[in-house]
Amino acid sequence: MVSSKLEDGLIYNIKLSSVGAARVTGQDVVYEPSNMDLAMKLHYLRGIYYFDSQTFQDVTIYKIKEPMFIWFNYFYMTNGRFRRAESGRPYIKCNDCGVRFIEAQCDKTLEEWLEMKDTSLEKLLVSNQVLGPELAFSPPVLIQHTKFKCGGISLGLSWAHVLGDVFSATEFWNFLGKVVGGYQPPEPLNLAHSLTKANSTQTLQKIVDDPLSIKRVDPVEDHWIANASCKLESFSIHVTASKLGHLQSRIGIQGPFESLCAIIWQSISRIRDGPGPKVVTICKKGEEKKVALIGNTQVIGVVKVYDSIRDANPSELARLIKNEIIDERLKIDEAIEKEHGVSDVIVYGANLTFVSLDGADLYGFDWKGCKPNNVSYFIDGVGEAGTVLVLPDGPNDSEGRIVTMTLPEDEIMKLKNELNNEWSIA
């Protein structure tokens, strides 16, 4: 265990350990990420789940870790470590090395923490570790248990996006709650059949040009994070249900996600030089039934506009986002396959990127009948074009939305002013 201190004592008494599966996976078992998985390898999802003091009262760290042994029997690939084949293509060696477990304490009460509403401080509640530069020693999953002064708890999930999208991450996380509740998962899938040769598909048409939704970056080798060309900052705004209803009626009722995207897209256009951005990326839950335990199956598509965005009708922008997304998943698959899975690309922030968490069961985690009071997610590894993450502010879709934006630092105040002056939402 290692103990250290962060942010002048706000987070302190940090201890590190590992948790793995109760059962040995087997010898020479590997898990090969798909092409879509590898396209996301430079991105990371960070989730934070807040619980009041009653939820984990008198619950020891061992009692929290105990069900994880069974949990990881089922999600065995999350315990492994990345290696490279002779071709250079990454795969996971399922060697039961485990996930990293972090214990920490906070000098604030849970109420005081939530009142600060500081997105940058929230990052202290979840690991910011990335994969590499020594892939063989880098866990793709890290869990942080932070105890507040009042007895409240936060559980932070750091999830390498190469494992799967946010819908996979939340299913993975919620499965732990089922195990805590006494659910006995079935035997792991027959490992011989669960190993996937990257499901690149030979029926795809050959793509000459790169998809619009990805951007190539300088080679990262075994340190899986892209260097942004400018300093990026994150901030969040809370749009209440009543405010959201007002915005939708003003725009023409195109849906919460589409309405917020249209407003923010146009507002960003007005603070940037030029008529764009005329191409944005949209990521949302797909309609296809998920087959594998984990994976990147979310829709990744683009919306293109040929006229000036700053002068556009927000209702038309919302309509395009709802109905005119050009799905680029097949193109991305082919682009990664063409280079044998060794490409270094980003998706989030390659263009201005809007990500919907509608359909992710964020409040589905259940610890013996208790659910989180608040849930927060953000994305690391974003490119300089920026990313906007839209998630429900509670367990019901009819409630408001939390919008977390990661943008170049010099755009933050300008955007806040534009959103406040035009829409009264920042």
Q: Is 291 exposed, middle or buried (0-12, 13-18, 19+ CB in 10 A)?
A: exposed
pLDDT at 208: 59
Q: Please, what's the b/e burial string for 398-409 (b: 16 or more CB within 10 A of its CB; e: otherwise)?
A: eebbbbbbbbbe
**H helix runs in 325-411, sequence order:** 329-338
Contacts of residue 107, Cβ cutoff 8 Å, sequence gap at least 6: 9, 10, 11, 12, 149
pLDDT at 424: 92
Q: Is 150 exposed, middle or buried (0-12, 13-18, 19+ CB in 10 A)?
A: middle
Widest CA span of the chain, in angstroms? 61
Kindly give the confidence (pLDDT) of every residue in the chain, 426 residues in length, as a single tens digit, with 9 standing for 90 and above: 444 455 557 999 999 999 999 988 888 899 999 999 999 999 999 999 999 999 999 999 999 999 999 999 999 999 999 999 999 999 999 988 999 999 999 999 999 999 988 888 999 999 999 999 999 999 999 999 999 999 999 999 999 999 999 999 999 999 999 999 999 877 765 453 344 444 444 444 455 588 999 999 999 999 999 998 899 999 999 999 999 999 999 998 779 999 999 999 999 999 998 888 999 999 999 987 777 889 999 999 999 999 999 999 999 999 999 999 999 999 999 999 999 999 999 999 999 999 999 999 999 999 999 999 999 999 999 999 999 999 999 987 678 999 999 999 999 999 999 999 999 997
Closest to 397 in 3D by CA, of 241, 246, 282, 243? 241
pLDDT at 195: 42
Contacts of residue 117, Cβ cutoff 8 Å, sequence gap at least 6: 236
Give the span between the Cα atoms of 312 and 375, in whole angstroms.
Answer: 34
Closest to 142 in 3D by CA, of 95, 101, 105? 101
Instruction: With residue 245 as reference, give the H or E element that holds it.
Output: helix 241-251
Give the span between the Cα atoms of 151 and 298, in whole angstroms.
Answer: 37
pTM for this entry: 0.94
